[in-house]
């Protein structure tokens, strides 16, 4: 099975791009959604988190207090590493399971942190959706109710643009219109199908 990893910084147009792939019949596995599964109520990740931090890490509903956990890992690097070591293998298993279920000609693994979390290991090739930081800020602010400062903080927490581009097998520049994006996605789609069929 051929897996194309799709990534890009916040507001680059990953969702817009993967929606287009999806409309072309390509199955899209969303790592962002799967990454929340192990910390749901009753799941093994949350059980381990509660063992480490006690009941104070839970809301009264028994669900994870994400804000509290974020504060802990923001303050202590070793706690961030502990959490990543716990969750990354659990998420990787879920991704593998979902990818196996796909029956489309190739499959997309969409992830905002494809390179940062080594989820690119699941992929044969990778695609980066790329825009300037100014466009990222502008489009994210239009989409979400966030300040410019909040967007820039998120950008700084992600892999830097040049490193991301260096790791990409394919790059789609998304400074133009949504129609331009659709055209570029369709071109790559045809190219991948031709590549897969000749193998
Ligand atoms: P990501 O998933 O990478 O965070 P999105 O796909 O949600 O980014 O795109 C961010 C915002 O920009 C969305 O509101 C989306 O509709 C819009 N957008 C994406 N690509 C374009 C484009 N080429 N032209 C105009 N708006 C765009």
Report the pLDDT averaged over residues 31-54.
Answer: 96
Residue among 8, 13, 155 whose CB has most ligand 1 atoms within 8 A, to mutate: 13
- Out of 80, 103, 126, a domain closes at 103
Residue with CA closest to ligand 1 atom 16: 16
Whether residues 20 and 111 share a domain: the answer is yes
Check residue 58 and give its pLDDT.
97
Paired with 3 in beta bridges are 107
Same domain, 52 and 146: no
pLDDT in tens, 68-93: 999 999 899 999 999 999 999 999 99
Q: Are 10 and 115 in contact (CB under 8 A)?
A: no
Whether residue 147 has pLDDT greater than 90: yes
**pLDDT beyond 90 at 199:** no
Quick one: pLDDT at residue 100? 97
Q: Which ligand 1 atom is the nearest neighbour of the CA of 10?
A: 4
Q: What is the mean pLDDT of the chain?
A: 96
CATH value at residue 76: 3.40.50.300
DSSP string, the chain: --EEEEE-STTSSHHHHHHHHHHTT-EEEEHHHHTTGGGSTTSHHHHHHHHHH-GGGB-TTSSB-HHHHHHHHHH-HHHHHHHHHHHHHHHHHHHHHHHHH--SSSEEEE-TTTTTTTGGGG-SEEEEEE--HHHHHHHHHHHSS--HHHHHHHHHHSPPHHHHHHH-SEEEE-SS-HHHHHHHHHHHHHHHHHHHHT-
At which of 63, 78, 103 does a domain end?
103
Token pair belonging to 30: 């969303």
Instruction: Tell me the C-alpha distance between 41 and 188, whole Å.
Output: 40
**91 and 150 assigned to the same domain:** no
User: Which pTM does this prediction carry?
Assistant: 0.94
Q: CB count, 10 Å around CB of 179?
A: 8
Q: Which pLDDT score is estimated for 144?
A: 95
175 and 110, same domain (yes or no):
yes
Do 84 and 111 fall into the same domain? no
Give the percent of the chain with pLDDT over 90: 98
Residue 143 CA to ligand 1 centre (angstroms): 8
Q: Please compute the mean of the pLDDT values over residues 109-123 and round it to a whole number.
A: 96
Tens digit of each residue's pLDDT (9 = 90 or more) over 5-30:
999 999 999 999 999 999 999 999 99
Structure-block tokens of residue 18: 């993967």
pLDDT of 166 reads: 98
Q: Are residues 98 and 112 in the same domain?
A: no
CA-based nearest residue to 175, from 5, 11, 18: 11
pLDDT computed for residue 160 by the predictor: 96
Tokens standing for residue 94? 């879920």
For the record, the structure tokens of 14 come out as 């990953």
Same domain for 97 and 73:
yes
Residue 11 CA to ligand 1 center (angstroms) comes to 6
Q: In this structure, are 78 and 145 located in the same domain? A: no
Closest CA to 39 of 64, 67, 57: 64
Same domain, 125 and 196: yes
The two structure tokens encoding residue 148? 């410019």
| Domain termination site, one of 87, 103, 119 | 103
Give the nearest ligand 1 atom to 18 CA. Answer: 6
Residues 87 and 144 in one domain: no
CB 4 within 8 A of CB 119: no
Could you list the residue range(s) of the whole structural domain that residue 76 is in?
A: 34-103
pLDDT, residue 22, reads 98
Number of domains forming the structure of the chain = 2
């Amino acid at each position: 099975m051929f897996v194309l990893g799709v990534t890009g910084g916040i507001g680059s147009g990953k969702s817009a791009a993967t929606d287009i792939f999806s409309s072309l019949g390509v199955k899209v596995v969303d790592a962002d959604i799967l990454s929340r599964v192990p910390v749901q109520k009753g799941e093994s990740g949350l059980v381990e988190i509660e063992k480490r931090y006690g009941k104070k890490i839970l809301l009264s509903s028994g669900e994870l207090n994400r804000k509290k956990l974020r504060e802990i890992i923001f303050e202590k690097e070793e706690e961030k590493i502990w959490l990543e070591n716990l969750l990354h293998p659990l998420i990787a298993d879920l991704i593998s399971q979902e990818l196996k279920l796909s029956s489309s000609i190739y499959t997309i693994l969409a992830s905002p942190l494809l390179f940062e979390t080594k989820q690119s290991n699941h992929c044969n090739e990778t695609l980066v959706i790329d825009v300037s930081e100014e466009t990222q800020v502008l489009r994210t602010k239009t989409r979400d109710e966030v300040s410019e400062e909040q967007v820039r903080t998120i950008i700084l927490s992600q892999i830097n643009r040049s490193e991301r581009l260096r790791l990409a097998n394919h790059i789609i520049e998304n400074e133009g219109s949504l129609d331009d994006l659709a055209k570029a996605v369709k071109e790559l789609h045809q190219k991948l199908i031709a590549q897969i069929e000749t193998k």
